[in-house]
Amino acid sequence: MPEMTYLQAISDALREEMRCDERVFVMGEDIGTYGGAFKVTEGLQAEFGADRVMDTPMAEAAIIGAAIGAAVVGMRPVCEMQFSDFVACCFDQLVNVAGKMHYRQGLAVPIVIRLPSGGGFSGGPFHSQNPEAWLMHAPGLKVVAPSTAADAKGLLIAAIRDPNPVCFLEHKNLYRRIRGEVPAGTYQTPMTARVAREGDDMVVITYGGMVWTALEATEDLEGASIRVLDLRSLVPLDEAAILEAVGDCGKVVVVDEANATCAAGAQVSALIAEQGFEFLDGPIRRVATPDVPIAFSPPLEKALLPQVEDIRETCRELLAY
């Protein structure tokens, strides 16, 4: 199997899908000639032309609205937000037009919104956000957040083939840092959780970029056997896998990079507190970014985003509980 970066895996998924389904096209700001702010679409315009790899005006609401329109007449648009932070600029089109369409009138909206998200490189308050919770709280949107190169490709293909609007969170900090074996051709990764590491003393439940932070933090924790559950999909949320992990481990740490209040982690924790209560051998601990904009200067950003040491410390405390 070819080895590639997380970023290459995303490009590969786009290329494969565009080759085998002419309805698929990508659109966004600077994605054509330039190949995208992160070069995810580099080379695609040369292969597929300017109509299928479309440089749009700088207008996020228009990108989503136009994608919805194209989708309902038979296309399969894949939109890129230059940074996931800009989803705030098309929030209305996404939650009100795309999200509610099928429930209201039985009309499917097969669109994918690629959202380069996350911090860790001094992107500052407007280029470091993790908007997944906003999207999870909007009925009718699916939300996925791969952590590995193979899942990035498989989940993007699954998202493109899904008849619903799917928000695809790709963590900028994984783009070039994470490599892995990626099957050639097309395959779909199911929108279910994945056990990133087995273990039964405690489970760390997370997704996206934090999967790697969690793995590193729990690698060698006084010999404790710590499971890491990579959710992969947030909507649908693999409740069975979460509860199974809680049942096996009894102690739970929920980690997300987003601001803590009403985050994905809050939902996971609330789910467990309601349906997994009897399995719990201790409080459900959370590690997340406090409710603060992501600061620019390295020492500040580091103090805000969950670090390996923060997770390790929380795990230690809970193990000792």
Partner 1 sequence: MATSTTSQPRAAEVERLTLADRVDLLRYMLRMRGIEQRAMTLYRQGQVPGSFYDGLGQEAVSAGAAFAMAAEDRLCILHRDLAAHLIRGVEPERIFAQYMGRCSGLTEGRDGNVHFGDRRLGCVGMVSMLPDMMLVAVGMAMAFRIRGERRCALTWLGDGSTSRGDCHEAMNWAGVQRLPVIFVLENNQFAYSTPTSKQYAVNPVERAAGYGFPGVSVDGNDVEAMFAATLEARERAIDGGGPTLIAAETMRMHGHAAHDDMAYVPSELVDHWRGRDPIELEEGRLVAAGVDVEGLRAEVGVELEEALRLAREHPFPAASSAREGVFCEGEAQALGDGLARWSGYA
Active site residues: 127
- For 226, half-sphere exposure in the C-beta direction (CA atoms, 13 angstrom radius) is 27
The owner of tokens 């507190």 is 273
- Selection from 203, 187, 183 nearest residue 195 by Cα: 203
Q: Binding its own copies by CB under 8 A: which of 220, 291, 313, 317? A: 291
Q: Binding partner 1 by CB under 8 A: which of 15, 42, 102, 280? A: 102
Question: Rounded to an integer, what distance in angstroms lies between the CA atom of residue 321 and that of residue 318?
Answer: 5
Contact pattern for partner 1 over residues 3 through 22, marking x by CB under 8 A: --------------------
Two structure tokens written together for 98: 């795309």
- Residue 127 contacts which entry, partner 1, ligand TPP, its own copies, none (Cβ below 5-8 A, type-dependent): partner 1
Extended strands (E) in 145-225: 166-171, 179-181, 194-197, 202-206
Q: What is the smallest separation between the CB atom of 144 and its own copies, expressed in angstroms?
A: 15
Q: Which of residues 71-130 bind its own copies (CB under 8 A)?
A: 85, 88-89, 91-92, 95-96, 99-100, 103-104, 125-126
Q: Toward partner 1, which CB reaches closer, 83 or 207?
A: 83
Q: Toward partner 1, which CB reaches closer, 77 or 199?
A: 77
- For residue 100, give Cα distances in angstroms to 96, 145, 194: 6, 22, 29
Q: Binding its own copies by CB under 8 A: which of 81, 217, 284, 315? A: 284
Radius of gyration of the chain (CA): 19
Question: Rounded to an integer, what distance in angstroms lies between the CA atom of residue 213 and that of residue 177?
Answer: 12
Q: Is 86 in the site for partner 1 (CB under 8 A)?
A: yes
Question: Rounded to an integer, what distance in angstroms lies between the CA atom of residue 282 and that of residue 291?
Answer: 25
Q: Is 25 in the site for partner 1 (CB under 8 A)?
A: yes
Question: Rounded to an integer, what distance in angstroms lies between the CA atom of residue 61 and that of residue 236?
Answer: 25
Question: Rounded to an integer, what distance in angstroms lies between the CA atom of residue 190 and that of residue 308?
Answer: 28
Q: Toward partner 1, which CB reaches closer, 125 or 247?
A: 125
Question: Rounded to an integer, what distance in angstroms lies between the CA atom of residue 213 and that of residue 198?
Answer: 16
Q: Which of residues 56-85 bind ligand TPP (CB under 6 A)?
A: 58, 60, 82
Question: Rounded to an integer, what distance in angstroms lies between the CA atom of residue 31 and that of residue 10?
Answer: 14
Provide the residue type at 264 as one letter: A
Q: Toward partner 1, which CB reaches closer, 126 or 277?
A: 126
Q: Is 240 in the site for its own copies (CB under 8 A)?
A: no
Contact pattern for ligand TPP over residues 26 through 55, marking x by CB under 6 A: ---x--------------------------
Q: What is the smallest separation between the CB atom of 202 and ligand TPP, expressed in angstroms?
A: 41
Q: Toward partner 1, which CB reaches closer, 185 or 299?
A: 299
- What contacts 88, CB < 8 A, 6 or more positions away? 131
The owner of tokens 């795990």 is 315
Q: What is the smallest separation between the CB atom of 143 and ligand TPP, expressed in angstroms?
A: 21
Q: Toward its own copies, which CB reaches closer, 183 or 293?
A: 293
Contact 315, 226 (CB under 8 A): yes
The owner of tokens 């947030």 is 234
Give me the residues that bind its own copies (CB under 8 A), please: 85, 88-89, 91-92, 95-96, 99-100, 103-104, 125-126, 133-134, 136-140, 235, 237, 254, 258-259, 261-267, 269-270, 272-275, 277-278, 280, 282-286, 291-293, 295
